[in-house]
């Protein structure tokens, strides 16, 4: 089966479920033999954006780097899954323009639920003033205005969210309907 490249751009607060859903998609794409890559925010920060802090300028640089790599992969027929907070709408829109085949997935989850899920204690540290410029606490998160998919992870499982994304990819012509039915 031929494959069309597309970037599935997850955005949402820390702890909203972006990486969890991305890994469900990863398993499904792997089982189907599709070419894909995951660009996880934490992994990219360690390997591609080492040395960057969390100022607005550094965050923008990090998200632009993720977008550039996603662009290269997408234009070569790879399905790219990005899982990064990407808090600023303008940079997400800039990446949408660069990549073209771009499906924005808003992983929507109330801040209180994200804080309850926080195994790293980041929200606690941010509220105590130990982490400056923390998205959702001391730095803004700009919700997408027109995402292709909204996953409400406080109301649905990661598997349900993944299926919602797959269904939308079928509607948009990025994957074959028989593939979505198979998985």
Q: Tell me the C-alpha distance between 179 and 170, whole Å.
A: 9
Note the pLDDT of residue 182. 53
- Using left for φ > 0, alpha for ψ between -120 and 50, and beta otherwise, residue 85 falls in alpha
For residue 181, the surrounding DSSP H or E stretch is: helix 177-182
Cα separation values, 16 from 64, 83, 105, 113, 121, Å: 22, 11, 12, 8, 14
Q: Is 3 helix (H, G, I), strand (E, B) or coil?
A: coil
pLDDT in tens, the chain (183 residues): 467 999 999 999 999 999 999 999 999 999 888 999 999 877 777 777 677 777 788 888 889 999 999 999 999 999 999 999 999 999 999 999 999 999 999 999 999 999 999 988 889 988 988 888 889 898 899 999 999 999 999 999 999 999 999 999 999 999 988 776 655
pLDDT at residue 180 in the model: 67
Active-site positions read 86
Task: Return the bridge partners of 10, or none.
Answer: 83, 105
Q: What is the DSSP letter of 139?
A: B
Sign of CA dihedral 74, 76, 78, 82: negative
DSSP 8-state code for residue 14: T
pTM score of the predicted model = 0.92
pLDDT at 181: 65
Which residue ranges form the domains of the chain, and what is each CATH number? 6-182 (3.40.50.300)
């Amino acid at each position: 089966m031929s494959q069309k490249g597309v970037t599935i751009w997850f955005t949402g607060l820390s702890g909203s479920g972006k990486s969890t859903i991305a890994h469900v998609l990863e398993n499904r794409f792997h089982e189907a033999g599709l070419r894909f890559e995951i660009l996880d925010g934490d992994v990219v920060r360690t390997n591609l954006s080492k040395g960057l802090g969390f100022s607005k300028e550094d965050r923008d640089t990090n998200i632009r780097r993720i977008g550039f790599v996603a662009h290269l992969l997408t234009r070569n027929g790879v399905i790219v899954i990005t899982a990064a907070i990407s808090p600023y709408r303008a940079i997400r829109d800039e990446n949408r323009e660069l990549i073209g085949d771009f499906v924005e997935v808003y992983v929507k989850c109330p801040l209180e639920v994200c804080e309850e899920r926080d195994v790293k204690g980041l929200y606690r540290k941010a509220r105590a003033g130990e982490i400056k410029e923390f998205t959702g606490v001391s730095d803004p998160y700009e919700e997408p205005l027109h995402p292709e998919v909204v996953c409400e992870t406080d109301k649905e499982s990661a598997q349900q969210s993944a299926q919602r994304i797959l269904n939308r990819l079928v509607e948009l012509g990025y994957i074959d309907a028989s593939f979505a039915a198979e998985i």
